[in-house]
Amino acid sequence: MGYTLVEKIIAKKVGHEVKPGDIVTVPVDWCMIDDIMVPFAVQKFEEMGFDKVYDPEKVVLIYDHFLPATQTDDSRHFRVGDEFAEKYGLKHVHRTDGICHQLMTEAGYVKPGDIAFGTDSHTVTYGCVGAFSTGIGYTEMAGILGTGQLWIKVPETIKIEIDGTLPGNVTSKDIILRIIGDLTASGATYNSLEFTGSTVDAMSVASRMTISNMSVEAGAKCGLFAPDDKTCDYCKIPYDDEIKDLHGDDNASYAKILRYRAEDFVPVCACPSLVDNIKPVSELKGTKVDQVFLGSCTNGRLEDLRTAATILKGKHIAPYVKMIVTPASRKIYRAALADGTLEILSDAGAIITTPGCGLCCGRGGGILSDGEVVVATNNRNFLGRMGTSKVQIYLASPATAAATAIAGEITEA
Amino acid sequence: MFSAKIWKLGDDIDTDIILPTEYLAFETVQEMKPYAFSPLRPDLASKIQPGDMIVAGNNFGCGSSREQAPEVVKALGVSCIVAKSYARIFFRNAINNGLLLIEQPDLFDEVSEGDIAEVTPGKEIKVNGKSYDIASLPDNLTEILEAGGLVKAMRKRNGLD
Amino acid sequence: MAMTMAEKIIAAAAGKESCKAGDIETVTVDKMMSNDGTTHLTIDMYNNLKNPHIADVSKLVWIIDHNIPADSPKTAASHKKMREFAKENGITFYEGEGVCHQIMMENHVRPGELIFGADSHTCAYGALGAFGTGVGCTDYLYSIVTGTSWLLVPETIRFNLHGSLKPGVYARDLILTIIGKISANGANYKAMEFAGEGLHDLSIADRIAICNLCVEAGAKTALMEVDDVAMDYLKEHGREPKAIFKSDDDAEFSEVYDIDLSEIEPIVAKPHFVDNIAPAKDCSDVKIDEAFLGSCNNGRIEDLRVGAAVIKGKHVHPKVRFFVVPASRAVYKQALKEGLLDIFMEAGAMVMNPNCSVCWGACQGVIGEGETLISTGTRNFKGRAGHKDSFVYLASAATVAASAVAGYITVAEDL
């Protein structure tokens, strides 16, 4: 009997075989705390009565939701984080470098096979490199800071096999949106999603990140990809036998297997106001938009900006429509400066902001008002997420977003 | 056993509905209270009385890991939530804050807002003369709930209480 | 009759041969600029009029620059109101293209024009020899409905500039020094006019920085003689002057100052008034939490070049948030081409989209309780940049960039 990828990762860490449903206590390789949650986690940590952090090397503080600050109390969060880091000797504090989930792999922290927890639900993103990672509350984070461990229930696995070649205007965002639509927003609750197949093999790590990132929108505990040579290049580690063993076995026991042909995918949107309300873009054609948002931990990477730039080159966004571009990290911003991407986007009329969570976190970066419509590349379209409850949010790929910005209405690339 | 007045919500009550991002950074949960559920029902927070309960459909608490969500529900005095299912991070966060969550597949479809329920944790809920079975929690979660939440459990571990 | 430049522009706008300080004249306004700080209020007032009507829509320029991208449903709603009104009425409209005054300088302002702006820093347009003045919503509404307004012809304080600024000293230091000298109400109701051979060495960017800040001395407007530098700028931007005026040799000035530019030193304006100036060198005990390079005062390409030259190869202090905000899309793109944006990003600064940003004190880079900001913005009033108990120091682009690296206030040469 074989093992699924998540079972292998957990078993390796706890030193014995595990099966779905087992409750095990795992050692934690990485703790990520974002600026919103820092003061709460610190308060709970102190209430719990710990006098040291289990391993200051393994804790990463990242300020991203409140940059640039829009409220007078925001900088208190930075100050509390800085003081905590100083008091307990934390080594890794990113104050202005970009979105937490981008930085956790980009800056070289999380590697294949690691176990990571973060105070944000999109911590599942690190599944893109074959790490088990998931979001937790600040109280549990405080507990990990003190003990270095956390209990988890070993999840069942839903395997998703995708084979074939994607149509030219389809991106990994369309794939994960379609899968969430098929599974529903609660269809993978407590489960691990494991993505395999030739389409997945051909994808960049950045594209896989988009899929892992949104796994939580189907309720999943994690969304995993077996690491390959591309993963190892990205993580700057050797592609050795240990890494090669990190994959779901053919004879592993899966709760469910979903099979897709890449050729069957079409550009889609998640329509207001649920992530699983999926419709083909072609059916939404003619929906007027007020704003387009390209960014977030889901789709703010260089390849996403380049996809948009390819479509926007030599064109201009529609009159009275805004397009806001928020690169996911400082590194991405600089790379997009260097290769001319930002210049193309600016020539097309885009408003390019500094790296951070931006509009996705709903505290700035392009908030909308009653009756307005936004097409956005991020991960959530919940009621009130980007302004009032009368804002209509459509989630889409960077390609659809760019084509829509030019047309002023929802359009296929 | 306790009795509680029912407030009824739907499926997929997400964490942005339970507490929008705009209010997440308030220093205390007391300041957050008036804004609970505001995108969906702006007046709900002011109507909920201590001891009342929330009944909802599938996937309650889906979305973000914001622990302010269960904390604010707890601070409103909600005695428990009964839903068809919960999103997993919300579930953990609620238990860690000592907020009782009950999974029950049928009750939601058969009760109305304003009904009074009689809850016997780990055993049953009675509404309008009908009894609904409920399961008890796994041991490790019961321990946390019984300690009064994870902070208190950790304080005990650290020899403080 | 001898007239000042201000008198000549107003006389022309009033259709008269002449006028003099103290007269109240009915004038035809050449352009009317309004931004998202107050336009939603103007629209509400307009809609309450019995016979709403715009005299000449081609004179209106509306610009969303204060809260862009929007930071709250409230600002988004005011933007929507403004955007829809502009669209419906065919008003020239910019959104997210940059700070209003910079957009006006790049695209609209012509020498000799009389321009109303629903923003106090409209006096910046004097850098091109135009009479720009800030008005409130009611005055603005009256002018768009009738095309005219009334104006009290101001007295003029004349500043004759001599010599040139030392290296490491900027126009910003000069105007802060002048405001310190005449005080925050030293030019109330008056025009501040700049002339002299020292003016010729100053770029348009320098001139805008000077004129823009004159309102902080209470001035109604600021004016500079139009010379080759100004004409080159106009030509480069594809515009012709409406008229070129200069004060007559025997015009009457309320005061005349002669200023030796070589005596100016790097200056800061300390909290909480623009005239509370001190030499930057004397402020090295002030630790900073945030630094801001941008605004209608100091967000032009010349300012970014100065900041980039200071910070190149260095790194922003780890505890300092350094916002760099080009004043317009044109500035952003130029800075991108010259590699300046990358210098800032490499150094750990945050490059923002062109807008009012930190200077406006909402939307971006709001500072918290007890925090200190060093800024190239226009004002350091209590609470201007965020929390009521916070501190703002105004300084030049060079001093701001140097302080961002040091973590405390310092001049670039001491870095």
Alpha-carbon Rg of chain B, whole angstroms? 15
Distance CA A57, CA C409 (A): 33
Which of B11, B13, B14, B58 to mutate to test binding with chain A, by most A CBs within 10 Å of its CB? B14
Burial letters for B97-128: b for 16+ Cβ neighbours within 10 Å, e otherwise? Answer: bbbbbbbbeebbeebeeebebebebeeebebe
Distance CA B76, CA B71 (A): 9
Give whole-number Cα distances, A200 to A162, A185, A205, A215, A319, in Å: 7, 22, 10, 15, 38
**Cβ–Cβ of C76/A363 closer than 8 Å?**
no
Number of CB pairs < 8 Å for A and B? 132
Q: Which pair of tokens denotes residue B102?
A: 């009950």
- Residue-wise pLDDT for B126-157, tens only, equals 999 999 999 988 888 888 888 889 999 999 98
Mean pLDDT of chain A: 97
Q: Which domains does chain A have, with CATH numbers?
A: 7-153 (3.30.499.10), 157-264 (3.30.499.10), 270-407 (3.30.499.10)
Which of C68, C72, C373, C384 to mutate to test binding with chain A, by most A CBs within 10 Å of its CB? C72
**Cβ–Cβ of A40/B68 closer than 8 Å?**
yes
Distance CA C56, CA C249 (A): 36
Number of helices and strands in chain B (H, E): 8, 7
Chain C residues closer than 8 Å to A333 by CB: 345, 351
Mean pLDDT of A271-275: 96
Q: What is the architecture, at CATH level 2, of domain C267-414?
A: 2-Layer Sandwich (3.30)
B79 near A CB under 8 A: no
Which of A38, A75, A296, A317 to mutate to test binding with chain C, by most C CBs within 10 Å of its CB? A75
pLDDT, tens digit only, all 415 positions of chain C: 899 999 999 999 999 999 999 999 999 999 999 999 999 999 999 999 999 999 999 999 999 999 999 999 999 999 999 999 999 999 999 999 999 999 999 999 999 999 999 999 999 999 999 999 999 999 999 999 999 999 999 999 999 999 999 999 999 999 999 999 999 999 999 999 999 999 999 999 999 999 999 999 999 999 999 999 999 999 999 999 999 999 999 999 999 999 999 999 999 999 999 999 999 999 999 999 999 999 999 999 999 999 999 999 999 999 999 999 999 999 999 999 999 999 999 999 999 999 999 999 889 999 999 999 999 999 999 999 999 999 999 999 999 999 999 999 999 999 9
Chain A residues closer than 8 Å to B14 by CB: 380, 382-383
- Name the A residues in 207-226 with CB < 8 Å from any B CB: 217, 219, 221
Residue A265, pLDDT above cutoff 90:
yes
Give whole-number Cα distances, C68 to C107, C212, C335, in Å: 20, 21, 20
Q: How many residues does chain B have?
A: 161
**Cβ–Cβ of A367/C75 closer than 8 Å?**
yes
Determine the distance in angstroms separating the CA of B129 from the nearest CA of chain A, rounded to an integer: 31
The pLDDT value recorded for residue B31 is 95
Determine the distance in angstroms separating the CA of C68 from the nearest CA of chain A, rounded to an integer: 7
**Cβ–Cβ of A68/C350 closer than 8 Å?**
yes
Neighbour tally for B161: CB within 10 Å: 13
Distance CA A221, CA A207 (A): 19
- Name the A residues in 121-140 with CB < 8 Å from any B CB: 121, 123, 134-140
The pLDDT value recorded for residue B161 is 81
The pLDDT value recorded for residue A175 is 98
- Residue-wise pLDDT for A380-412, tens only, equals 999 999 999 999 999 999 999 999 999 999 999
Backbone dihedral region for residue B12 (phi beyond 0: left; psi -120 to 50: alpha; all else: beta)? left
Nearest of C115, C113, C122, C126 to residue C156 by alpha carbon:
C126
**Cβ–Cβ of A362/B20 closer than 8 Å?**
yes
Nearest of C281, C244, C265 to residue C402 by alpha carbon:
C281
B129 near A CB under 8 A: no
Q: Residue C202 carries which DSSP code? A: S
Distance CA C395, CA C206 (A): 14
Neighbour tally for A263: CB within 10 Å: 13
**Cβ–Cβ of A334/C79 closer than 8 Å?**
no
Residue A29, pLDDT above cutoff 90:
yes
Chain A residues closer than 8 Å to C62 by CB: none
Using CB atoms, pick whichever of B27, B40, B87 lies closest to residue A383.
B40
What fold, for C5-261? Aconitase; domain 3 (3.30.499)
**Cβ–Cβ of A75/C289 closer than 8 Å?**
yes
Nearest of C323, C327, C366, C297 to residue C65 by alpha carbon:
C327
Give whole-number Cα distances, A217 to A37, A375, A383, B67, C317, in Å: 20, 18, 15, 17, 38
Neighbour tally for B34: CB within 10 Å: 13
CA angle C271-C274-C278, nearest 5°? Answer: 70
Pair type for strands C391-394 and A132-135 = unpaired
Using the structure block, give the residue that is written with the tokens 């016979």. C51
Chain C residues closer than 8 Å to A351 by CB: 68-69, 96, 353
**Cβ–Cβ of A47/B155 closer than 8 Å?**
yes
CA of A365: which chain C residue's CA is closest?
C69
The pLDDT value recorded for residue B142 is 84
Give this prediction's pTM: 0.96
Burial class (CB in 10 A: 0-12, 13-18, 19+), A241: exposed
Chain B residues closer than 8 Å to A139 by CB: 67, 93, 96-97, 149-151
The pLDDT value recorded for residue B138 is 82
A181 near B CB under 8 A: no
Q: In 3-state terms, what secondary structure has residue A293?
A: strand
Distance CA C245, CA C131 (A): 11
CA of C68: which chain A residue's CA is closest?
A366
**Cβ–Cβ of C371/A320 closer than 8 Å?**
no
Q: Residue C390 carries which DSSP code? A: -
The pLDDT value recorded for residue B148 is 86
Q: Chains with ≥3 Cβ pairs under 8 A against B? A: A
CATH of domain B2-135: 3.20.19.10
The pLDDT value recorded for residue A339 is 98
B97 near A CB under 8 A: yes
- Residue-wise pLDDT for A87-113, tens only, equals 999 999 999 999 999 999 999 999 999
- Residue-wise pLDDT for B13-63, tens only, equals 999 999 998 899 898 999 999 999 999 999 999 999 999 999 999 999 999
**Cβ–Cβ of A186/B154 closer than 8 Å?**
no
Distance CA A370, CA C361 (A): 25
What are the sequence ranges of the domains in chain C? 5-261, 267-414
CB distance C79 to A324 below 8 Å: no
The pLDDT value recorded for residue B137 is 82
Distance CA A379, CA A377 (A): 7
- Strands in C156-162's sheet, in edge-to-edge order, are C221-224, C191-195, C156-162, C255-260
**Cβ–Cβ of A368/C70 closer than 8 Å?**
yes
Residue A59's contacts (CB-CB under 8 Å, 6 or more residues apart) are A30, A31, A33, A53, A90, A92, A145
ipTM, two decimals, is 0.97
DSSP per-residue letters across A64-93: -TTSS--STTHHHHHHHHHHHHHHHT--EE
- Residue-wise pLDDT for A104-163, tens only, equals 999 999 999 999 999 999 999 999 999 999 999 999 999 999 999 999 999 999 999 999
Chain A residues closer than 8 Å to B62 by CB: 185-186, 217, 219
**Cβ–Cβ of C386/A69 closer than 8 Å?**
yes
DSSP per-residue letters across C89-119: HT-EEEESSB-HHHHHHHHT--TT-EEEESS
Q: CA B59, B65, B69, B74: dihedral to nearest 10 degrees? A: 90
